[in-house]
Amino acid sequence: MTDSAFDWMAAANKKAKGKRPEYFDDPEDERMLSILMAVAGEVSVLRERMDTVERLLETKGTISRDDIESYVPDKNAAYERGVMIREYIYRVMRGPHQMVEELKEAEPSLEELSKELREI
Amino acid sequence: MNDDQKLDVAPPYNAVARHGVSPNPSHDEIARFDFLANFNKFMASALGTGNQLAYDNRVLPKFKKEHGREPKDRFEIRRAMNEDPFHLFWSALKRNSMEMRQQNGRAIVLRQIDELNAKARQFNEGRDTLELNPEIEVPRYQSAVDIHCMPGSYHGEELPGDVSAGANYDCGIFATTGGGLGALTDGGGMALVEWIKKERPGWAPRRVLDIGCTVGHNIVPLALAFPDCEVVAIDTAAPILRYAHARAQSLGATNIQFIQASAEDLSRWDDGTFDWVQTTMFLHETSGKALPSILKEGYRVLADDGLMLHLEQPEYHDGMPLFEQFLRDWDAFNNNEPFWSSMHALDMKDEMISAGFDRDELFETGVRAVVDREIFPENATGEGEDHGRAAFWHAYGAWKNASAIQEAAE
């Protein structure tokens, strides 16, 4: 057991030396995105844990925490779980992903279209 | 399902092999790396394509309008792209992914640091194959920032004498490379073994020097492939060497001597001591003055007909589009790699010549990670490449005085 004087949770959060680049005008946005990304990661973790529980229950009926901790997916299950994570990432990242489409073609605003449709 | 129809997903972290000092990850810690590995794939492919689009459709036209010309270098592109909302958001996400990888790795390692230290001690105590020297100073190029946002860098300790830096480095490479380096993160070292066996069949080096070895993941395969070879692996950071030594011993690579030493001063070794001197993904973590002095020292301790080999990401040659150079530079300015940009702009051939080689002794070749393709997919290169992390390297090499020796023999 780790010495109680050593707070590994605090230590895990240590900042890397070196000034952090600023990506947004408002520094609060940097913090908000870091929280959002961490939560996005944790939801993925919960989903994977749920998947483990479901797979174990399907084959064993009853399970223990040890079963969850020691679960190793076979090749097929590993792929299915990879697809599950990928699907989750695409859903969560819809906003930024749609920016890519916006970049492909500049679209007229709805206001402009509204004017256009009035005339045709 | 037909294999060809499969979606590109990262292999599961469960496929990462364990060795004698591997941290033991919990179910959820594995799941965190599974998320990051797949997230990084998404960032490099589906979202990454937006960078080129933003440049072509928005940033470049605006730049040309304002300046009446094309950008003249990667720095101008970077400054212009850093005004673009898409690129900024992409960078912010990617920076977070890098920070999360560090936090996640450190959490795994630090909650079991006592057990890891105890495991390492079992392999390290009383062995003359680990030589630490507290006199060795951490060079400025290793201490100016924490390289690749790794808190504490290679030399940091959370508890006196610990191995946390090495264990964290080792356990998280999977997340940033999407498993591209294989089960033991040794795809680079495995590739060297495969390359040399083709290049010089039957040749067995007597003594190899690996400079900037970090956790030894690129030297262990070589040591195992040439069991009679005396391998010396050096690094300036003690914590990483403690881990590297224990890791190598547990994998049966007992012919490596890990020594805390600076590559800029190899004076303890005589001229011509080694017949293979190498660095793998190390030179970009040095500096403008350190790099040439490391090459010069490396040349001095290299024997005639010996091999010098450096594995890096490709240099920014004139034929490489400036936009690609800018993309490859991302880590320099966003992931604490302050020498990355300058290093990749060097002509490594000129550097090798300055170190002592003749131009006709030099060669270049591509080296792709050798891993179990059943489990670990090949990293994308070109379209969808995660620049700076692709498991495909450029090797700069030379055989010292090889032609002179051949001529003398004839």
Of the candidates A49, A86, A96, the beta carbon closest to that of B38 is on A86
How far away is chain B from the Cα of A4, in angstroms, using its nearest Cα?
Answer: 11
* Contact yes or no for A37 and B111 at CB 8 A: no
Residues on chain A touching B373 (C-beta within 8 angstroms) = none
Q: How far is Cα A37 from Cα A29, in angstroms, rounded to an integer?
A: 12
The pLDDT assigned to B368 comes to 86
**Segment A99-119, tens digit of pLDDT:** 999 999 888 999 999 999 999
Does any CB of chain B come closer than 8 Å to the CB of residue A74?
no
Does any CB of chain B come closer than 8 Å to the CB of residue A32?
no
Of the candidates B6, B50, B97, the beta carbon closest to that of A103 is on B50
For residue B68, is it left (φ>0), alpha (ψ between -120 and 50) or beta?
left
**Segment B180-203, tens digit of pLDDT:** 888 899 999 999 999 999 999 999
Cβ atoms B176, B389 nearer than 8 A:
yes
The pLDDT assigned to B2 comes to 47
Which of B371, B307, B46 is CA-nearest to residue A98? B46
* Least reliable range by pLDDT among B150-154, B162-166, B183-187, B228-232: B183-187
Does any CB of chain B come closer than 8 Å to the CB of residue A86?
yes
Q: How far is Cα B191 from Cα B181, in angstroms, rounded to an integer?
A: 10
Of the candidates A3, A20, A72, the beta carbon closest to that of B14 is on A72
The pLDDT assigned to B68 comes to 98
Q: How far is Cα B189 from Cα B36, in angstroms, rounded to an integer?
A: 24
Does any CB of chain B come closer than 8 Å to the CB of residue A100?
yes
How far away is chain B from the Cα of A95, in angstroms, using its nearest Cα?
Answer: 11
Task: Give the pLDDT band of residue B58 (cuts 50, 70, 90).
Answer: very high
* Contact yes or no for A45 and B111 at CB 8 A: no
Task: Give the pLDDT band of residue B355 (cuts 50, 70, 90).
Answer: very high
Q: Which domains does chain B have, with CATH numbers?
A: 1-410 (3.40.50.150)
The pLDDT assigned to B391 comes to 78
Instruction: Find all residues with CB under 8 Å of B380, minimum gap 6, and list them.
Output: B44, B45, B386, B390
Return the H-helix or E-strand segment holding B393. Answer: strand B392-399
Q: What are phi and psi of A29, to 5 degrees?
A: -65, -35
Q: Tell me the average pLDDT of chain B.
A: 94
Q: What are phi and psi of B131, to 5 degrees?
A: -125, 105
The B residues from 117 to 156 touching A (CB cutoff 8 Å) are: 144-146, 149-153
Does any CB of chain A come closer than 8 Å to the CB of residue B183?
no
- Bridge-based pairing of strands B256-260 and B207-211 is unpaired
- Optimal mutation site among B5, B6, B30, interface A, most CBs of chain A within 10 A: B30
User: Block means of pLDDT (10 residues each) for chain A, length 120 residues?
Assistant: 78 97 97 98 98 97 96 96 98 97 91 95
Instruction: Find all residues with CB under 8 Å of B167, minimum gap 6, and list them.
Output: B21, B22, B23, B109, B116, B243
Q: Which DSSP string corresponds to B138-183?
A: PPHHHHSS-GGG-TTTTT--SSTT--HHHHHHHHHHHHHHTTTT-T
* Contact yes or no for B149 and A14 at CB 8 A: no
| Range among A4-13, B73-82, B384-393 rated most confident | B73-82
Per-residue CA distances from B87 to B38, B47, B57, B95 (Å): 20, 10, 13, 12
Is residue B375 pLDDT above 50, yes or no? yes
Indicate the pTM of the whole model: 0.95
The pLDDT assigned to B3 comes to 54
Q: For B368-372, what is the mean pLDDT?
A: 85
Torsion of CA B59, B65, B66, B68, to 10 degrees: 120
Task: Give the pLDDT band of residue B178 (cuts 50, 70, 90).
Answer: confident
Is residue B220 pLDDT above 90, yes or no? yes
Q: How far is Cα B389 from Cα B130, in angstroms, rounded to an integer?
A: 30
The pLDDT assigned to B5 comes to 54
Q: Which DSSP string corresponds to B104-132?
A: HHHHHHHHTHHHHHHHHHHHHTT-TTEE-
**Segment A73-84, tens digit of pLDDT:** 999 999 999 999
How far away is chain B from the Cα of A109, in angstroms, using its nearest Cα?
Answer: 17
**Segment B273-324, tens digit of pLDDT:** 999 999 999 999 999 999 999 999 999 999 999 999 999 998 999 999 999 9
Q: For B253-260, what is the mean pLDDT?
A: 98
Q: For B24-43, what is the mean pLDDT?
A: 97
* Contact yes or no for B114 and A3 at CB 8 A: yes
Per-residue CA distances from B228 to A34, B206, B238 (Å): 50, 7, 26
The pLDDT assigned to B382 comes to 73
The pLDDT assigned to B1 comes to 47
* Contact yes or no for A103 and B113 at CB 8 A: no
* Contact yes or no for A86 and B89 at CB 8 A: no
